[in-house]
């Protein structure tokens, strides 16, 4: 009874809220209607009138853009349009039409990071307007301004497009600035300025230029031995953008497996595009505290529409940021598990590939729902790579590869391989190294096992599968390794 009354009260309150909103809505709508009709009427007034309709429309659009308090963003650097042109009647009655531009729809350049690649060379990693780069020929020039007050040095910036044409509004650009001689090599400090020109691609009458302070090097901050010394890490993982509702348990399994595989001289750079919610952070924390993981919050990139949460941007930033800190850099995803056969180690395999700047790795696609009948009733206690043991063996399908590079010989990078390397690339790595891919398991918070079977070969929905327990067999030692390294704090992690 009391409950009933409460509900009644709630309903009344709800209706009240709707009503008071409705009143405000009505005022708003009336005001809008009035403004719109005014704008429409003004369109038809003779243009002799002292306010032209376009002036008014401009004012309206200004009004509407000023109406909500701007969220503390700096106003975009919009080039001011040339003064308003009018249509003209030429001799012979020809109507010369005017074209009046307003605003700019994409930034010329969005800088993410600038890194030294040696005494005379830099990489500026960023996004740029894709149509400008696809249909125009924008130019870059790099200027080194020494703090000493000595004259600047200039060089042309060389553009690298690492995203295979996948960009959207924005495309990834790595500008390589290589000077004819070392700059700031004595550690006296200076700054790198990147000049960009739209060079006709934005407006043939306007060579819009930007002056970007790409890097500031404080006096005494340059450590030249970094470029020659052996790297701090043997293996560094550059992850691409993580987003969505990731499973903490799957991430826990992945990181434990790979820290064990790559060993004490390894490091993992994880890029959080919104996927590292508190549950996932919880499983990364122990490894961050041990110095194995660096988390980069890249959520802001979401403002700029590029390919797949700007994954090509972040892997290029990662390459240049950590280029001198690792002997080998790996590029693959958190639903993929790199594997080297027993009797070899990751070190012995990579030593055998040391003549190559780059090698690619073959994929073993695994089912994300088939499990073993013997696990019935205890699947929830088993790890993902322990219970998902059926390999898709369909022939004649081109499957994605993943890859690793020796980063000092790499100038830009992709997701499946790099096309900007010095030195050799090999794809002949079968039998030496491979990766197991558990597609669609990382962002699934439910139990993955949907079908329990007690056979070693079967066909489901036209796809032949066979039992492959390679990673299942490693599960116990990975669990022991985790317990030994970070203790029991992740034992209660949820899917
Ligand atoms: C820029 O390109 C040159 C020539 O390909 C290369 O030697 C240099 O390492 C590159 N610089 C960076 C920072 O990638
Ligand atoms: C400045 O330029 C002069 C003349 O080229 C040179 O002798 C001097 O070493 C330069 N100073 C620095 C700090 O680079
Ligand atoms: C724009 O300016 C740059 C730098 O001065 C120059 O190289 C380029 O030719 C100019 N482009 C046009 C279309 O004027
Ligand atoms: C300079 O870099 C080397 C090699 O990475 C390192 O051993 C040394 O400690 C660094 N020096 C300073 C002053 O940071
Ligand atoms: C396989 O499973 C089915 C049903 O679960 C059962 O009837 C059959 O006896 C099992 N076969 C073997 C070889 O375990």
pTM, to two decimals: 0.83
pLDDT tens string 467-477: 999 999 999 99
Per-residue pLDDT reduced to its tens digit, 313-351: 999 999 999 999 999 999 999 999 999 999 999 999 999
Can you give the pLDDT at residue 369? 96
Question: What integer pLDDT is reported at residue 31 of this predicted model?
Answer: 52
Q: Phi and psi (nearest 5°) for 482?
A: -60, -45
How many A from CA of 149 to the centre of ligand 2? 9
Q: What is the pLDDT of residue 332?
A: 97
- pLDDT, averaged across the chain: 88
Ligand nearest to the CA of 219: 2
Query: φ and ψ at 47, to 5 degrees?
Result: -75, 0
Q: Which ligand is nearest to the CA of 138?
A: 3
In testing the pocket of ligand 2, which one of 148, 181, 184, 188 has its CB within 8 Å of the most ligand atoms? 148
Residue with CA at minimum distance from ligand 1 atom 6: 411
Distance 225 CA to ligand 4 centre (A): 7
Q: Give the ligand with the smallest distance to the CA of 456.
A: 5
Provide the pLDDT confidence category of residue 415 given band limits of 50, 70 and 90.
confident
Residues 4-15: what's their mean pLDDT? Answer: 45
182-234, pLDDT tens digit by residue?
999 999 999 999 999 999 999 999 999 999 999 999 999 999 999 999 999 99
How does residue 494 score in pLDDT terms, banded at 50, 70 and 90?
confident
pLDDT in tens, 255-287: 999 999 999 999 999 999 999 999 999 999 999
Residue of 157, 178, 408 to test ligand 1 pocket, by largest number of atoms within 8 Å of CB = 178
Output phi, psi for 33, to 5 deg.
-60, -45
Nearest CA to ligand 2 atom 7: 150
Does residue 73 register a pLDDT over 80? no
Ligand 4, CB within 6 Å, residue ranges: 223, 225-226, 229
For residue 150, the CA-to-ligand 2 centroid distance in Å is 6
Ligand nearest to the CA of 376: 5
Q: Does residue 51 carry a pLDDT above 50?
A: no
- pLDDT band at residue 58 using 50, 70 and 90 as cut-offs: very low
Q: What are the residues whose beta carbons fall under 8 Å from the beta carbon of 237, sequence distance 6 or more? A: 258, 262, 266, 267, 268, 269, 329, 330, 332
What is the CB < 6 Å shell around ligand 3?
Answer: 139, 197, 199-200, 207
Residue nearest to atom 12 of ligand 3 (CA): 199
pLDDT band (50, 70, 90) for residue 356? very high
Q: How far does the centroid of ligand 5 lie from the alpha carbon of residue 454, in Å?
A: 6
Position 119 confidence tier, pLDDT thresholds 50, 70, 90: very high
Ligand 1 midpoint to CA 131 (Å): 26
| SS3 track for the chain | CHHHHHHHHHHHHHHHHHHHHHHHHHHHHHHHHHHHHHHHHHHCCCCCCCCCHHHHHHHHHHHHHHCCCCCCCCCCCCCCCCCCCCCEECHHHCEECCCCCCCCCCCCCEEEEEEECCCCEEEEEEEEEHHHHHHCCCEEEEEEEECCCCCCEEEEEEEECCCCCCCCCEEEEEEEEECCCCCCCCCCCEEEEEEEECCCCCECCECCEEEEEEEEECCCCCCHHHHCCCCCEEEEEEEEEECCCCCHHHHHHHHHHHHHHHCCCEEEEEEECCCCCHHHHHHHHHHHHCCCEEEEECHHHHHCCCCCCCHHHHHHHHHHHCCCCEEEEEECCCCEEEECCCCCCHHHHHHHCCCEEEEEEEEEEECCCEEEHHHCCCHHHCCHHHHCCEEECCCCCCCCCEEEECHHHEEECCCCCCCEECCEEECCCCCCCEEEECCCCCCCCCCCCCEEECCCEEEECCEEEEECCCCHHHHHHHHHHHHHHHCCCCCCCCC
Distance 317 CA to ligand 3 centre (A): 28
What is the distance in A from the centroid of ligand 1 to the CA of 68?
Answer: 46
Pairing between strand 402-405 and 326-331? Answer: antiparallel
Q: Where does residue 466 fall: left (phi above 0), alpha (psi -120 to 50 degrees), or beta otherwise?
A: beta
- For the chain, domains (ranges, CATH) are 110-221 (2.60.40), 230-486 (3.90.550)
Residues 343, 405: Cα–Cα separation, whole Å: 23
The residue to mutate among 150, 187, 189, having the most atoms of ligand 2 within 8 angstroms of its beta carbon, is: 150
Q: Widest CA span of the chain, in angstroms?
A: 91
Quick one: which atom of ligand 5 is closest to the CA of 452? Answer: 5
Tokens standing for residue 418: 């790099």
Ligand 5 surroundings by CB, under 6 angstroms: 373, 454
Tokens of residue 326, six digits: 């690792």
- The pLDDT of residue 495 is 82
**Closest C-alpha residue for ligand 4 atom 4:** 226
Q: Whose CA is nearest to atom 5 of ligand 4?
A: 226
Whether pLDDT at 438 is above 90: yes
């Amino acid at each position: 009874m009391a409950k009933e009354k409460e509900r009644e009260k709630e309903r009344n309150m709800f209706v009240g809220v709707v009503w008071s909103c409705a009143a405000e809505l009505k005022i708003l709508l009336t005001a809008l209607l009035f403004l719109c009709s005014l704008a429409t009427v003004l369109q038809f007034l003779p243009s002799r009138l002292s306010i032209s309709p376009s002036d008014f429309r401009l004012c309206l659009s200004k009004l509407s853009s000023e109406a909500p308090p701007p969220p503390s963003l700096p106003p975009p650097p919009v080039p001011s349009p040339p003064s308003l042109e009018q249509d003209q009647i030429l001799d012979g009655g020809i109507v010369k039409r005017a074209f009046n531009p307003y605003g700019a729809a994409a930034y010329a350049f969005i800088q993410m990071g600038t890194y030294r690649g040696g005494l005379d060379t830099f990489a500026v990693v960023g996004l740029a307007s894709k149509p400008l780069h696809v249909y125009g020929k924008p130019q870059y020039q790099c200027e080194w301004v020494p703090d000493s007050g000595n004259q600047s040095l200039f060089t042309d910036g060389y553009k690298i497009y690492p995203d295979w044409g996948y960009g959207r509004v924005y495309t990834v650009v790595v500008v390589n600035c290589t000077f004819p001689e070392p700059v700031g090599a004595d550690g006296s400090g200076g700054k790198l300025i990147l000049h960009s020109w739209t060079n006709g691609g934005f407006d043939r009458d306007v060579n819009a230029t930007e002056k970007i302070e790409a890097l500031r090097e404080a006096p005494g901050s340059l450590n030249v031995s970094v470029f020659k010394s052996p790297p701090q890490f043997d293996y560094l993982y550059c992850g691409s953008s993580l987003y969505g509702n990731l499973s903490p348990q799957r991430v826990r399994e992945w990181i434990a497996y790979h820290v064990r595989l790559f060993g004490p001289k390894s490091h993992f750079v994880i890029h959080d595009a919104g996927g590292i919610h508190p549950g996932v952070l919880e499983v990364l924390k122990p490894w961050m505290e041990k110095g194995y993981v660096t988390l980069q919050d890249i959520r802001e990139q979401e403002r700029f529409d590029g390919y797949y949460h700007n994954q090509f941007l972040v892997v290029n930033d990662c390459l240049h940021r950590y280029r001198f800190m690792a002997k080998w850099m790996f590029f693959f995803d958190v639903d993929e598990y790199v594997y080297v056969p027993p009797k070899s180690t990751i070190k012995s395999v990579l030593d055998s590939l040391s003549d190559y700047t780059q090698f690619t790795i073959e994929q073993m696609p695994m089912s994300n729902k088939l499990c073993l009948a013997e696990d019935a009733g205890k699947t929830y206690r088993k790890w993902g790579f322990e219970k998902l043991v059926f390999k898709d063996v369909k022939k004649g399908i081109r499957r994605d590869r993943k890859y690793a590079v020796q980063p000092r010989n790499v100038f830009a990078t992709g997701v499946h391989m790099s096309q900007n390397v010095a030195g050799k690339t090999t794809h002949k790595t079968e039998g030496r190294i491979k990766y197991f891919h558990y597609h669609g398991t990382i962002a699934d918070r439910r139990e993955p096992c949907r079908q329990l079977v007690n056979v070693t070969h079967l066909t489901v929905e036209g796809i032949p599968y066979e039992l492959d327990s390679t990673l299942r067999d490693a599960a116990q030692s990975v669990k022991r390794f985790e317990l030994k390294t970070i203790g029991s704090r992740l034992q209660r992690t949820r899917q």
